[in-house]
């Protein structure tokens, strides 16, 4: 496994793989890798002859009051996680390698970014789309792997790839959870013991919603109220949003008459956690 920090090194490696006819899978990450990321690597390994993992905490997608400085980082641990999964190349650039002083080009996907996290984190998806476009151009993969945990991010990237005719297949991998249901996330490391116990209220609210839907409930308001009650019963939790949106357009729905995404963001203490599930009509 090779670890490189410059764009030139990645390009050289990709060029030589391409010359030998190898297919390439890309797993873009912000590091502090966990089993969720490793499930993406496993999928990439299965589908492609070579796998690249990028590790880059992208300053452009963090707002001024967000956790850029404190976001967890541990490159040695990340290297081990990649090695375990048979990754071929890690690209971990500095911010200056990715954005030079005169950097001035951005990728915006309108509409899909107005809802959910986009509403709460202005500029976030512009940062995501710009860095992902750069990583696609640098690594030139056949396929790129993203987790369903960031469902809006996935939808936005799929739209961007379709709109801009990017010749890369986007693969969605299911959410990986802890044994009590909490979605695996690098930000879980922020939680105290007490907060960690409280955090299962996100998944409990999802289970409750799924039970209601299975019993035939179609009213979004009824389901949301039940979810809110579960989370509000947890004193350490504060809801940022819970929403049901049309899966294709990410616009709000009142009744479940189409494929829908239920997405939620909840503060547990100071840590913002997200989770979701997809309802297939």
What's the rounded Cα separation, in Å, for the pair 29 and 48?
18
Q: Residue 131 in contact with residue 106, Cβ under 8 Å?
A: no
Q: Is 204 left (phi over 0), alpha (psi -120 to 50) or beta?
A: alpha
Contact present, 97 and 8 (Cβ < 8 Å): no
- Catalytic residue of the set 34, 37, 124, 280: 37
Q: Give the C-alpha separation, 183 to 199, whole Å.
A: 10
Q: Look up 124 and say whether it is catalytic.
A: no
Contacts of 77 (CB under 8 A, 6+ apart): 32, 33
CB atoms closer than 10 angstroms to residue 159: 19
Catalytic positions are 37
């Amino acid at each position: 496994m090779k670890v490189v920090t410059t764009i030139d090194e990645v390009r050289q490696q990709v060029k030589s793989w391409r010359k030998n006819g190898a297919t390439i899978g890309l797993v873009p990450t912000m590091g502090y890798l966990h089993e969720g990321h490793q499930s993406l690597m496993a999928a990439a390994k299965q589908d492609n002859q070579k796998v690249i993992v990028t590790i880059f905490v992208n300053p452009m997608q963090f707002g001024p009051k967000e956790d850029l400085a404190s976001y967890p980082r541990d490159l040695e641990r990340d290297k081990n996680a990649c090695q375990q999964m048979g990754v071929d190349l890690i690209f971990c650039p500095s911010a200056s390698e990715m954005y030079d002083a005169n950097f001035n080009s951005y990728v915006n996907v309108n509409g899909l970014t107005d809802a959910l996290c986009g509403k709460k984190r202005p500029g976030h998806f512009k940062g995501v789309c710009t860095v992902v476009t750069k990583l696609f151009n640098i690594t030139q993969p056949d396929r790129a792997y993203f987790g369903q945990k960031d469902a809006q991010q996935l939808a936005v990237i799929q739209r961007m790839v379709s709109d801009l005719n990017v010749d890369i297949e986007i693969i969605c991998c299911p959410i990986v959870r802890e044994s009590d249901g909490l979605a695996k996330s690098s930000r879980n490391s922020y939680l105290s013991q007490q907060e960690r116990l409280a955090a299962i209220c996100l998944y409990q609210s999802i289970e409750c919603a799924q039970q209601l839907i299975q019993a035939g409930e179609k009213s979004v308001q009824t389901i949301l109220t039940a979810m809110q009650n579960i989370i509000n019963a947890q004193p350490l939790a504060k809801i940022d949003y819970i929403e049901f949106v049309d899966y294709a357009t990410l616009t709000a729905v009142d009744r479940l008459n189409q494929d829908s995404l239920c997405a939620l963001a909840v503060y547990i203490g100071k840590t913002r956690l997200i989770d979701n599930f997809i309802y297939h009509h």
